[in-house]
Amino acid sequence: YQKNPRFAWGWYYADAEWRKRGSPVSPLASHWQAIALMAYTSQYVYKDFNAAVRVAGRSRQQYRNNFHFKTLHFLLTQALETLRQAQNGQCHRVFRGVRDVRFQARQGQRVRFGQFTSTSLRKETALHFGTDTIFEVHTCHGADIQQFSMYPGEEEVLIPPYETFEVTKVTRDGKRTWIWLHSTGTSSTYNCEWQSGDRTGNSPG
């Protein structure tokens, strides 16, 4: 907290909002997981956190020595796994809109986001935010976090950094690039991630 006042405020804000909503936990394993999801989906945490996750993902040494969000990373990973199990391992068709970044992709390419990536069950949400790139994603490792999101109206599905996808289609519609992704499993290797991104709302990734 002392090293990152913005994160400290984000956690405090998330804890207050969580209590305001009646302190929901189920089906998560702990209240820490619930607050971690709310902190991530707030405006205070995701940007710095995802930037650190992308750097930490380059090597074990980077993660071990220079990554200062290990607890949040662990809580989010466990929360997604718990929610996914509670949702019977359901796959989701989701959408993500990106502003100010036009991603390059080719059909057949294998990629991963390399960070926690917010998407929406509602195409309209992605179209609202995505002036440059729209992703339509078939995810089988992302989980519906609407109950624990700071913005439940976005109907958010959070995709973990280790899920891999095949690019099945790429089209261009005026200014927008449309990219279709289909889940192919998981990977912790460091050679196939996009180097941009933040949250669903207003930034790439």
Per-residue model confidence (pLDDT) at position 193: 44
Classify 49 in phi/psi space as left (phi over 0), alpha (psi -120 to 50) or beta: alpha
Q: What's the token pair of residue 111?
A: 């990629």
Q: Quick check: 194 pLDDT over 60?
A: no
Q: Quick check: 34 pLDDT over 70?
A: yes
In a domain, 52, yes or no: yes
* Range ranked top by mean pLDDT from 50-59, 99-108, 145-154: 145-154
In a domain, 200, yes or no: no
Q: Quick check: 202 pLDDT over 80?
A: no
In a domain, 203, yes or no: no
In a domain, 199, yes or no: no
Distance CA 199, CA 205 (A): 6
Residues marked active site are found at 96, 118, 156
Q: How many domains does the chain have?
A: 1
In a domain, 198, yes or no: no
Mean model confidence pLDDT for the chain: 88
Whichever domain contains 98, its CATH number is: 3.90.176.10
Per-residue model confidence (pLDDT) at position 3: 67
Per-residue model confidence (pLDDT) at position 200: 42
Q: What percent of the chain clears pLDDT 90, i.e. is strictly above it?
A: 66
Per-residue model confidence (pLDDT) at position 16: 97
In a domain, 201, yes or no: no
Read off the pLDDT of each residue in 78-90 and give the average, rounded to a whole number. 96
CA 151 to each of CA 35, 70, 83, 154: distance values in angstroms, whole numbers, following the listed order: 14, 24, 18, 6
Q: Quick check: 165 pLDDT over 90?
A: yes
Domain of residue 72, residue span? 5-186
**What are the b/e assignments for 90-117, b being 16+ CB within 10 Å?**
eebebbbbbeebebebeeeeebbbbbbb
Distance CA 78, CA 81 (A): 5
Q: Quick check: 188 pLDDT over 80?
A: no
At 120-132, the pLDDT tens digits run 999 999 999 888 9
- The model's confidence at residue 189, banded by pLDDT at 50, 70 and 90, is low
In a domain, 194, yes or no: no
Dihedral, 118, 122, 127, 132 alpha carbons, nearest 10: 30
In a domain, 129, yes or no: yes
Give the DSSP H/E element, type plus range, for residue 83.
helix 70-86
